[in-house]
């Protein structure tokens, strides 16, 4: 991460700097005074409170300067019309200055896991940087770019969106050399109207790419097999379909050690062993394999890195609490990922308990999708504890799916749910905790695990 002067950054974003502060340097950027590091540029944003109110605190904590829309005190500052847009402008130019290859990763489900897998594999061969957790939007991704070392050869950038034109904006900053779309699902359908709308929004990732960029698509996803129009970029499909996919997967097995499958592509054949449960992880791993082969990583390094891979906290962590098995998958949820997590639960030995929070941003589809997930849960669990405004729909779906009324319950608070779990759970039980991020199912898990004093 190279130091930038305020003069240079202001030139990149069309801002103004008091001449006496032009040569002040900053290293990275942050918009949160709680975690800002000395020497960073403090980004002033408008939220529940005016970010300008936090400028003195940011400077007290060692911020080098401020990116803001009006002067507050005599602090080193870049004055711009819109700090959010200016942050993007600065990051776009920094990406060009460093000159790394950018791998942009998006999808409705699994893009964070895919990003981590891709980075893990590429680190075997290249100086690799990646976006941190939750840094996949128009604030987080530019800040991540500004934190990348100057000698970065490949940057792996997770790119998320929930409205039209957000992906296009991220792509204009990232300028991906390789773009990966893992899947098209119903997450964010509330804002995008339909599955076709979600696909259209995801395909905006092409807009920042050069014509000679490479587009890597999951050939097992029906929405990606038939695009509404052929892009300029070359497409490489990965998946099971031998006729369509240049990088093919076959002989998928779930063993005690995890997933095992055979890969053929780029004139190579090899076996991948992945220490994760659930076939839904195969697409994520195949995306990582395909990126790696595209960039010339040798198979043995791909095999080694994926064999060592462990998922991030909150994403299908499986651990034991006494004689109880916990599957913690609280990071986020949509219909596709919820069904996949329930399938993992359904293969476990012991009494299976699904602790499910609402899936958000489903709009008019919410009632139907929660009802459908209830039916799927009934096939994979002996008990269902549901939390959130749509919990009754989950329960109704479970009962319609054949579960006894006494085995499915809805709850209105985290405390009530956690306390009921404590009285219900027995040694040998297996519990799945999953829900959208806004449902904070990790708090239910924490309360359940907390010992009474």
Which domains are present in the chain? 4-81 (3.40.1390.10), 99-308 (3.40.1190.10), 317-449 (3.90.190.20)
Question: Hey, what's the torsion of the CAs at 225, 229, 231, 237, to 10 degrees?
Answer: 10
Judged against a pLDDT cut of 60, whether residue 23 lies above it is answered with yes
Banded pLDDT at 452 (limits 50, 70, 90): low
* Cβ pair 195, 229 in contact under 8 A: no
Q: What is the pLDDT of residue 453?
A: 40
Pairing of strands 408-411, 383-387: parallel
pTM: 0.86
Q: Kindly state the DSSP code that residue 359 receives in the 8-state scheme.
A: P
Distance CA 141, CA 145 (A): 6
* Cβ pair 18, 43 in contact under 8 A: no
Judged against a pLDDT cut of 80, whether residue 9 lies above it is answered with yes
Pairing of strands 352-357, 268-274: unpaired
Closest by alpha carbon to 345, among 337, 353, 356?
A: 353
CA 327 vs CA 29, 266, 269, 441: distances in Å: 35, 36, 33, 12
Pairing of strands 41-43, 29-30: parallel
Q: Could you read off the pLDDT of 347-374 as tens digits, one per residue?
A: 999 999 999 999 998 998 999 999 999 9
Interval 235-256 mean pLDDT:
95
Distance CA 357, CA 333 (A): 9
Judged against a pLDDT cut of 90, whether residue 49 lies above it is answered with no
Helix or strand (DSSP H, E) at 19: none
SS3 assignment, position 258: strand
End-to-end CA distance of the chain: 48
Length of the chain: 453
Question: Hey, what's the torsion of the CAs at 281, 184, 236, 92, to 10 degrees?
Answer: -100
Helices (H), 37-130: 55-60, 83-98, 111-122
Q: What is the pLDDT of residue 197?
A: 93
Distance CA 176, CA 249 (A): 25
* Cβ pair 297, 125 in contact under 8 A: yes
Q: What is the pLDDT of residue 271?
A: 97
- 436: number of Cβ within 10 Å: 22
Judged against a pLDDT cut of 90, whether residue 1 lies above it is answered with no
């Amino acid at each position: 991460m190279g130091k930038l002067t305020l003069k240079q950054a202001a030139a990149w974003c069309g801002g103004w700097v008091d001449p006496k502060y032009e040569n002040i340097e900053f290293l990275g950027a942050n918009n949160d005074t709680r975690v800002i590091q000395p020497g960073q540029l403090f980004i002033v944003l408008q939220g529940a409170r005016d970010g300008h109110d936090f400028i003195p605190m940011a400077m007290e904590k060692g911020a080098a300067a401020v990116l803001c829309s009006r002067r507050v005190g005599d602090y080193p500052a870049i004055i711009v019309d819109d700090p959010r847009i200016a942050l993007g402008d600065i990051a776009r130019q920094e990406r060009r200055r460093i000159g790394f290859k950018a791998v942009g990763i998006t999808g409705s489900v699994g893009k964070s896991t895919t990003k981590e897998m891709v980075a893990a594999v590429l680190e075997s061969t290249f100086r690799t940087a990646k976006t941190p957790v939750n840094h996949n939007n128009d604030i987080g991704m530019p800040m991540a770019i500004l934190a990348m070392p100057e000698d970065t050869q490949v940057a792996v950038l997770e790119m998320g969106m929930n409205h039209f034109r957000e992906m296009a904006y991220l792509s204009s900053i990232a300028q991906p050399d390789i773009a990966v779309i893992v899947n098209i699902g119903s997450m964010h359908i509330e804002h995008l109207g339909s599955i076709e709308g979600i696909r259209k929004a995801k395909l905006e990732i092409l807009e920042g790419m050069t014509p000679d960029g490479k587009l890597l698509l999951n050939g097992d996803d029906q929405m990606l097999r038939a695009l509404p129009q052929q892009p300029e970029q070359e497409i490489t499909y990965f998946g099971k379909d031998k006729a369509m996919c240049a990088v093919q997967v076959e002989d998928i097995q779930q063993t005690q050690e995890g997933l095992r499958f055979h890969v053929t592509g780029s004139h190579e054949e090899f076996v991948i062993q992945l220490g994760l449960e659930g076939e839904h992880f195969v697409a994520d791993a195949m995306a990582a394999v395909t990126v790696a082969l595209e960039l010339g990583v040798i198979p043995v390094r791909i095999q080694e890195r994926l064999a060592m891979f462990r998922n991030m906290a909150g994403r299908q962590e499986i651990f034991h609490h006494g004689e109880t098995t916990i599957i913690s998958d609280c990071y986020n949820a949509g219909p596709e990922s919820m069904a996949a997590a329930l399938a993992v639960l359904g293969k476990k030995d012991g009494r299976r308990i699904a602790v499910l929070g609402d899936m958000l941003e489903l709009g008019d589809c919410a009632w139907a999708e929660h009802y459908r997930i209830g039916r799927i849960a009934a096939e994979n669990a002996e008990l269902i504890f549901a939390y959130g405004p749509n919990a009754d729909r989950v329960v109704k779906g479970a009962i319609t799916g054949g579960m006894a009324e006494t085995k499915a319950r809805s709850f209105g608070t985290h405390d009530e749910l956690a306390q009921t779990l404590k009285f219900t759970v027995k040694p040998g039980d297996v519990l799945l905790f999953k829900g959208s991020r806004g449902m904070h199912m990790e708090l239910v898990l924490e309360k359940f695990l907390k010992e009474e004093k």
